[in-house]
Amino acid sequence: MNGRPIVVVGAGASGLMAAIWAAGRGRSVVLLEGTKDGGRKILISGGGRCNILPSVSAPGRFVTDSSPNVLRNMLRSWPLMEQRQFFDAEAGLALVLEEASGKLFPGSNSARNVRDALVTLALGRGIEIRFGVRAKGLEHGPDGWRVSTDEDTLVAASAVILATGGRSVPATGSDGWGLDLLTRLGHRVHPAYPALTPLTAEPPVHAHLSGISLEVTLEAPGPKKKMTTRGGFLFTHRGYSGPAILNISHMAVRSRLAGEARQPIFVKWTELDAEGWEQRLFQHRGVVSSLLAGYLPSRLGETLCREAGLEAGVTTAQLRRDQRLALLRCLTRYSLPWTGDEGYAKAEVTGGGLDLGEISARTMESRLHPGLFLCGELLDAFGPIGGHNFQWAWATGRAAGLGAAGKE
C-alpha cells in the first residue's frame, strides 16, 4: 500500500458514502467536488425532506440493460436493515416511516440535515474535502492514477472512485462528464436517457385539469413485457407528473429517442375494471357525470364524458351501446395523449450508464482498469420513486469505498 490517498470524484450520495467507508478502513481519502457544498441532489430530494430509503427493498423493480442478477447482487451487498442502522448509529439520523407511502425520512424532515450529517461524518473520519474543485481528466501510469483538475493541478492517487453521477438535473452539477470519460476509457456505456421525468403534451389538452391529483394504474406494453405501475398521478400545465408517471416515463422517453411510434400508456383511473364500471352504469339512475363524481374529481369525470362523446347531462338510461363502450374505455384503458417529456432538467435520475458486467459486483472495480472504482448513477441501473435510488447509491458507494480501501 503506497502513501497516496484514495481520490473520490464527486460528493453526492454515492461519493460521500464511498469516501466514508474507505476512510473507515484507515485509508487517506481526498474528495473532489465541483460545487461549493456538495450533495445537491440530496438537498432537493423528497421535496426538501430527503426520502433516505424505502421501507422495503424492491430489486425486481429496477431498470437495467445489464444483467438483472448482477444488479440484485450489488443491491444486496448492503442489506436495507444494515443501511438503516448506519444512518441511525453512524450518521445520527433516526429514520421515521411515513406509513402512507412506505418511505423512510429523517426525523427532522430536513434534506439539509442528511447532507450535513454525511459531510460531518466524512470530515470526522479525516477525509480532505476540496469543494469547488472539478476533475477534468484521469490518467494511469506505472506509478498509479493521477486526476487533473480545473485548477491545473494533478492529484496523485492509489485508487480512484468515480461518483460523478449522470446527466439528470444539471443545475446540481451533473453534466455527464464521468459517462463521457468511461466511454473514452473503452468501457461499454449504454446510451444515457432521462428517467423518472414528467411527460408533456403538445398541445396541452389537459391544461384545464392542472393541479388535479389522484391514484391511478398505468400500463405501458413493451416489446418484451408490459410495465404496470400504480401510484399518484398529477395533471400539470404542460402534461403529467406524479410517482406513477415518473416510474413509467422511461418507456416513453426511450421510444421517443429511438424514433419509434409513440409508446402507448394506458390509464385506469380507479380500482374498478370495465366489468365493475358497467355494473354501476346499469345500477345508476341519473346523470352519468354524477355517477363518476363519486369516484373521480368532477372536472376529470366531465372531461372523460366529453372525450367519450357524451353530451352534458346525459343519463345512464340514455346511453347508447357505443357510448357506453367508449366511456368504459376512457375509464379503464384511457390512452394518455403524451407527446414529449421534461428531459434531464426535471429527471430524477439518468437511465443507461456503465454496463454492470464491466465492474466487479463485489468491489465495484473496473475490469478494464485496475484501481478505478465506479458507483452510483454512473452505473446502468435505476429504481422507482421512493428512496430506491438512494439505496442504490448507498450500497454501491459503500462497496466502492471498501473495494478501493482493500486495494494494495
Q: Report pLDDT digits (tens) over 372-396.
A: 999 999 999 999 999 999 999 999 9
CATH of domain 198-265+336-341: 2.40.30
CATH topology of domain 274-335: Helicase, Ruva Protein; domain 3 (1.10.8)
Selected from 1.10.1530.10, 3.30.420.130, 3.50.50.60, 3.40.50.1820, the CATH number assigned to the domain covering 6-193+352-405 reads 3.50.50.60
**Cα gap 217→332, rounded to integer Å:** 9
DSSP assignment of 55-119 equals: SS--GGG-B-SS-HHHHHHHHHTS-HHHHHHHHHHTS---EEEETTTTEEEETT--HHHHHHHHH
What cell was used for 25? 478502513
> Are the beta carbons of 38 and 64 closer than 8 angstroms?
no
Contact 70, 80 (CB under 8 A): no
With 0.85 as the threshold, say if the pTM is over it. yes
| Cell numbers describing residue 402 | 471498501
* Percent share of the chain, pLDDT over 70: 99
Q: Give the tens place of pLDDT for each residue, 270-303.
A: 999 999 999 999 999 999 999 999 999 999 999 9
73 vs 225, which has greater pLDDT?
Answer: 73
What are the pLDDT digits (tens) for 329-377? 999 999 999 999 999 999 999 999 999 999 999 999 999 999 999 999 9
Longest dimension (CA), the chain: 84
Reported as a pLDDT band with limits 50, 70 and 90, residue 141 is confident
Q: Which parts of 236-283 are beta strand (E)?
A: 239-241, 266-268
Other C-beta atoms lying within 10 Å of the C-beta of residue 256: 17
Could you tell me the residue ranges of all domains in the chain? Answer: 6-193+352-405, 198-265+336-341, 274-335
| 220 vs 201: CA distance, rounded Å | 17
